Structure 1
Amino acid sequence: MSGRRMEIVVSVQPQPWPEPVPEIAAAIRAMYSGRREVPLAVQVRDQLGELFADAEFASAFGARGKPGWSPGMLAMITVLQKAEDLTDRQAADAVRTNLAWKYALGLELTDPGFDHTVLSEFRARVVQHRLEEKALDLLLAVLRDKGLVTAGGKQRTDSTHVIAAVRDLNRLELAGEAVRACLEALSAAAPHWVAEVLDVPGWSRRYQQRIDTWRLPASQTKKDELALSYGKDGFTLLAAVYAPASPTWLRELPAVEILRVVLVQNYTRTVARNGREVIKRRGNDIDKDGGLPPGCRRLTSPYDTDARWGVKRDMFWNGFKVHISETCAAPAPTEPAEDAGCRCPAAQKPNLITNVATTDATVSDSTMLEPIHQALRKRDLLPDEHYLDSGYPSAELIVGSLENFGIALITPVLLDRSRQAKAHEGFAASDFAVDWQAQRVTCPAGQLSSSWTPCVQDGVPKTVVTFSKTVCGSCPHRAQCTTAKSGRRQISLHPREMTEALRRARAEQETQDWQKDYALRAGVEGTIRQATAVTGLRRARYRGLAKTHLDHVYSAAALNLIRLDAWWNGHPLDRTRTSHLSRLELSLAA
């Protein structure tokens, strides 16, 4: 069998969920009578009914074969698992023993449940058939029908780091571990081939244990020697795999391809004049020996090829980044609602997560804004106003979001970073009047520009405006305007709409009304904190971008159900813990 595992094929015949068993429903009513609140799982079944239909997941399962568990129920179990932060074993036990879960799923009291590995198989099939977003899509569709989420209004988005489910390795450890991982994969898949081709005792002495479990040499010279040894061993191993006499299917092993990529990214291999092969370790200088590849392409682990090193301000991590979007509105006291048994103010709907986007750690926030808007449009949940921090916007996005999606970005734009603007003295770019029709710019001293040159800078169309050296040289305000060696002032302008939008945004964000309105964005920090505390969002449970994103989507669905449960039970929205000292301070202030 070449060491390959046979996949167990299961079939699904979509069926509606059974109604809650009467004896379980009676037990729930008896245990949670009076003021005691029913569990979340019970509330979800009562309020939302059959949330995830089997037919929505049927494409991930065969029509023939051994009958499997309901995929809709498995999706619901996965959401409840995230809400209670359970392992697969604990979730499988809860299906067997937890009355609230049996009520939500419509299971008999004596239902034996399933083996915990079924959940792993379910996740793998969902990812394989690209149904990662399905659970959140179905939940939001139901909530949209109930009027709990709608298009328009206000939404806010922020991102946070996610640490990959692998150990952090430096370049030396990565090279050695890639060789070791490849050896392990080959030994498992083709042990007879390894015994015939390699010196097993010699390779075993060098690669028996994980590279990061023993102390590396202290001196840089010995580290460099060890790095070259890893490189030579890696190229030797690949040469054996790609030899004509070796089985061709060995080249298809993922560990072999990962080793090849790690070697290409970290080493150079040339042939000297005497015919001798020379292997060198790549330096950090990109102009010397090609340098290292950009961070977005550089592997950081042989066990998760999607993880990347990311940096944000003073934070440096290996893994991913997740962007969370949610509805938001300033709370307003109104009359209590009477529908759905809710005991909370009708206008104070819960803030619900509308989208989750997961990327590797190198992707910038601004790059993700348009994909986020596209995902919201697909769900028919585009907001009128989108609250963001300064990492997302640009002149192009401010104009493009309004034109393409009808969304006004409420976000602080980066201020003019020119020397004059930062020093608050002299003439900043915003002090120059632009006549777009005549293609002329007038400086604060009344002088006209001499040239208007359209160009492309960093892939963005711009216009470079230049004043003549004669005019600037004799100007009494020259010291306030420019210190360029050319003796004249140049200004780089975005296209008209972008320039005017940028200047207007910079002026608005200085007003108190704008700052008061923008304070609404701060609430998304609490959402990230809740996601971290409840679902462990900042640490990936699984390897690979697809499974990590799946985990984030089900975490978002779980948080929405938690918030709905609080809303159904009349708890205040955005409730956070208040210390006794803070309460004392508030009472004294009152």
Structure 2
Amino acid sequence: MRPRPWPTVPELTAQVARAVAARGPYPLAMRVRDELGELFADAEFAEAFGARGRPGWSPGQLALVTVLQFAENLTDRAAAHRVRYGMDLKYALGLELDDPGFDASVLSEFRTRLVEHGMEEKVLDLLLTALKDRGLVKAGGQQRTDSTRVLAAVRDLNRLELAGETLRATLEALACAAPDWLAGAVPVREWADRYGPRTHSWHPPASTSKREEMALVYGRDGFALLEAVHAPDAPAWLRELPAVRVLRTMWVQNYHRTVTEAGTEVKRRESKDLPPGRLRLASPYDTDARYGLKQGSWWTGYKIHISESCDDTDDQDSASGGQALIPGADGPPPRLITSIATTDATVTDAEMTEPVHHMLAARDLLPAEHFLDSGYASAELIVGMKKNFGVTLVTPVLMNSSPQARAGAGFDRTAFTIDWDKRQATCPRGDTSTWWSPATLRGTKAIVIKFAKETCRPCPVRDQCTRSKTGGRTLSLQPRELQEVLDHARLQQGDEQWRTKYGTRAGIEGTIHQAVAVTGIRRARYLGLHKTHLEHVFSAVALNLIRLDAWWNGHPLDRTRVSHLARLDLSLAA
């Protein structure tokens, strides 16, 4: 690949494309070319392509095609068809009208090269750099982040199906890579009947005992195949096949063998003996997918964390992504996605708070205020983000969980006065503590404060203070800096002005809805964490271009549809 400037739009292509575009809304692809020009330069992708060989398609142009593909939620074949026949794409790419385009497989090869060279976020970086130069995104201001689940491009399998499909996939790989060896290593005819069909093409036995028997048959066959692969006379390279490695891992996680007087016995592991979800494989085809749980909903796959700008004095967000109410180039800039993070389904939101800020810092787009839900926050993170990044987290924190606070009666921790310098607490009746000691509770640093039992026993309000029958009141605090931040945050949450301000965070839900409805991010197109992240990055760029197009055209994004009945009610009320 020799980097070269994008060709100017041929005169005939421009004439025909503009004539066609005059009959309807100006196409997104043409608007992007007019406003942003050569958005993705070939030189930015040079390290992913060779310098020798037959000339290929421009990687910059392929990047734009891929972004527009996600903007319309097209398959590779449909995207290649649009390049071949679409006037707007020929205009955007600077192609002659008779240009035949490319084969659909080129898009898959392009994505593979980006992943292999760690360039998954290149297109988002280039777009944000161009928008920073135009003043449409900047550091400081406000941003908001939230996550949603992503279903992997594989079937959900129970443990029985998972074992059978893993063994079947391994046999398929070996039959392709070493058919002669496999024919002499296993009973091919018997196993072809057992493992030929995919597990979803037939129903397993309804009887629990028969299902358990089938699982043990799978286990014995799997161990037999692994022994054959690792036999001294077997080709050593067979052990390195990805499918064989997956089989080995899956069997370690789900089966174990014990040696008895009668011989070797294969057993399935009990549920309590399975590895933690972060390590447990969920599919033989996508080894990065994991089982996830959020708000009572299970899924197999990933999570995506979306961050977007939300600087707007008008606290009104459209249901389709929070577009500014005042459209046009003279109005507030559109809300733009500034960061995309993809993880497996087991990673919690709190684990991503710091990585998200690192990603924003690398792009020089750290906000002054960051709106998050409570899943991303803790006292440690609130202090850490302010200290390390200068970012104020606007987020609710967990309230006091003491029995008195939960009941709304009695003396909870806030009723006590804490003198950090004297290392002493004073109760509501004026008595002071006798014990102040650093401790570790559930793996975190804490301070334990105790009042003498001689002080608490005769107290007339003892029942409102402690449930202990014999001892005195005990308090547990976090270290001073964290406790003061936590107390301040809890106090703020009760303020109506703070709750109104925090309402800004809700707009990210509209962005997630737009991403699901427009680009289909709810279901992964590809296998593996890196390719799924690449998909999410292209989706984010597509959404940004859609929002920019609406802003350039002076049209806000559509709001939530008003039903005919609601519209009639409004008209009658007027």
Q: How does 1:257-406 map to 2 (within 5 A)?
A: 257-272=245-260, 274=261, 276-285=263-272, 291-332=273-314, 344=328, 346-406=330-390
Counterparts of 2:65 and 2:545 in 1: how far apart (Å)?
13
Deviates more, 1:376-385 or 1:491-500: 491-500
Question: Residue 465 in 1 paired to residue 465 in 2?
Answer: no
In the other structure, the counterpart of 1:150 is 138
Q: How does 1:192-271 map to 2 (within 5 A)?
A: 192-271=180-259
Q: How does 1:386-535 map to 2 (within 5 A)?
A: 386-484=370-468, 487-535=471-519
Distance 1:376 1:239, change over 3 A: same
In the other structure, the counterpart of 1:185 is 173
In the other structure, the counterpart of 2:322 is none
In the other structure, the counterpart of 2:318 is none
Deviation for aligned residue 1:579: 2.6
**Deviation digits for residues 263-320 of structure 1 (CA, Å, limit 9, x no counterpart):** 1111122223x272222211122xxxxx111111111111111111111112111111
Match of 1:174 among 162, 167, 175: 162
Deviation for aligned residue 1:573: 5.1
Give SS of 1:67's match. coil
**Deviation digits for residues 218-270 of structure 1 (CA, Å, limit 9, x no counterpart):** 22222221111111111111010011100011011111111111111111222
Counterparts of 1:355 and 1:106 in 2: how far apart (Å)?
30
In the other structure, the counterpart of 2:148 is 160
Deviation for aligned residue 1:457: 3.3
Q: Do 1:161 and 1:538's aligned partners in 2 also have CA atoms closer than 8 Å?
A: yes
Deviation for aligned residue 1:68: 1.4
Distance 1:589 1:383, change over 3 A: farther
**Deviation digits for residues 527-580 of structure 1 (CA, Å, limit 9, x no counterpart):** 001000000010000111110010000000000000000000101257333333
Counterparts of 2:455 and 2:19 in 1: how far apart (Å)?
89
In the other structure, the counterpart of 1:8 is none
Q: Do 1:80 and 1:558's aligned partners in 2 also have CA atoms closer than 8 Å?
A: yes
Q: Do 1:332 and 1:348's aligned partners in 2 also have CA atoms closer than 8 Å?
A: no
Counterparts of 1:151 and 1:90 in 2: how far apart (Å)?
38
Q: Do 1:165 and 1:543's aligned partners in 2 also have CA atoms closer than 8 Å?
A: yes
One-letter amino acid of the structure 2 residue matched with residue 321 of structure 1? K
Counterparts of 1:510 and 1:345 in 2: how far apart (Å)?
39
Q: Do 1:156 and 1:521's aligned partners in 2 also have CA atoms closer than 8 Å?
A: yes
In the other structure, the counterpart of 2:3 is 14
Deviation for aligned residue 1:192: 0.2
Distance 1:47 1:276, change over 3 A: same
Q: Matched residues, percent identical?
A: 59
Counterparts of 2:427 and 2:571 in 1: how far apart (Å)?
56
Give SS of 1:542's match. coil
Q: How does 1:30-69 map to 2 (within 5 A)?
A: 30-33=19-22, 36-69=24-57
In the other structure, the counterpart of 1:90 is 78
Distance 1:16 1:487, change over 3 A: same
Q: Do 1:331 and 1:348's aligned partners in 2 also have CA atoms closer than 8 Å?
A: no
Counterparts of 1:530 and 1:376 in 2: how far apart (Å)?
22
Q: Do 1:37 and 1:569's aligned partners in 2 also have CA atoms closer than 8 Å?
A: no
Deviation for aligned residue 1:584: 3.9
Deviation for aligned residue 1:442: 1.9
Distance 1:585 1:385, change over 3 A: farther
Deviation for aligned residue 1:26: 1.4
In the other structure, the counterpart of 1:572 is 556
In the other structure, the counterpart of 1:3 is none
One-letter amino acid of the structure 1 residue matched with residue 276 of structure 2? P
Distance 1:589 1:309, change over 3 A: farther
**Deviation digits for residues 32-72 of structure 1 (CA, Å, limit 9, x no counterpart):** 348x4310001001101100011111111111122211111
One-letter amino acid of the structure 2 residue matched with residue 393 of structure 1? A
One-letter amino acid of the structure 2 residue matched with residue 94 of structure 1? R
Deviates more, 1:214-223 or 1:295-304: 214-223
In the other structure, the counterpart of 2:13 is 24
Give structure 2 stretches of 5+ with no counterpart: 316-325
Q: Do 1:465 and 1:490's aligned partners in 2 also have CA atoms closer than 8 Å?
A: yes
Distance 1:157 1:20, change over 3 A: same
Deviation for aligned residue 1:146: 0.3
Counterparts of 2:259 and 2:303 in 1: how far apart (Å)?
41
Counterparts of 1:98 and 1:126 in 2: how far apart (Å)?
26
Deviates more, 1:576-585 or 1:294-303: 576-585
Counterparts of 1:123 and 1:198 in 2: how far apart (Å)?
38
Q: Do 1:445 and 1:477's aligned partners in 2 also have CA atoms closer than 8 Å?
A: no
Q: Do 2:32 and 2:92's aligned partners in 1 also have CA atoms closer than 8 Å?
A: yes
Deviation for aligned residue 1:585: 4.4
Distance 1:486 1:198, change over 3 A: farther
Q: Do 1:321 and 1:359's aligned partners in 2 also have CA atoms closer than 8 Å?
A: yes
One-letter amino acid of the structure 2 residue matched with residue 355 of structure 1? S
The number of residue pairs the alignment matches comes to 564
Q: Do 1:469 and 1:488's aligned partners in 2 also have CA atoms closer than 8 Å?
A: yes
Give SS of 1:543's match. coil
Counterparts of 1:447 and 1:124 in 2: how far apart (Å)?
69
Deviation for aligned residue 1:583: 3.3
Give structure 1 stretches of 5+ with no counterpart: 1-11, 286-290, 334-341
One-letter amino acid of the structure 1 residue matched with residue 274 of structure 2? L
Deviation for aligned residue 1:510: 1.0
In the other structure, the counterpart of 1:133 is 121
Deviates more, 1:144-153 or 1:408-417: 408-417
Give SS of 1:62's match. coil
* C-alpha RMSD of the superposition: 1.8
Counterparts of 1:581 and 1:515 in 2: how far apart (Å)?
32
One-letter amino acid of the structure 2 residue matched with residue 76 of structure 1? L
Deviation for aligned residue 1:586: 4.4
Q: Do 2:329 and 2:551's aligned partners in 1 also have CA atoms closer than 8 Å?
A: no
TM-score, normalized by length of structure 1?
A: 0.92
One-letter amino acid of the structure 1 residue matched with residue 167 of structure 2? V
Q: Do 1:154 and 1:384's aligned partners in 2 also have CA atoms closer than 8 Å?
A: yes
Distance 1:444 1:118, change over 3 A: same
Give SS of 1:41's match. helix
Deviation for aligned residue 1:205: 1.6
Give SS of 1:76's match. helix
Deviation for aligned residue 1:473: 2.8
Deviation for aligned residue 1:486: 6.1
Deviation for aligned residue 1:434: 1.5
Distance 1:507 1:585, change over 3 A: farther
Give SS of 1:351's match. coil
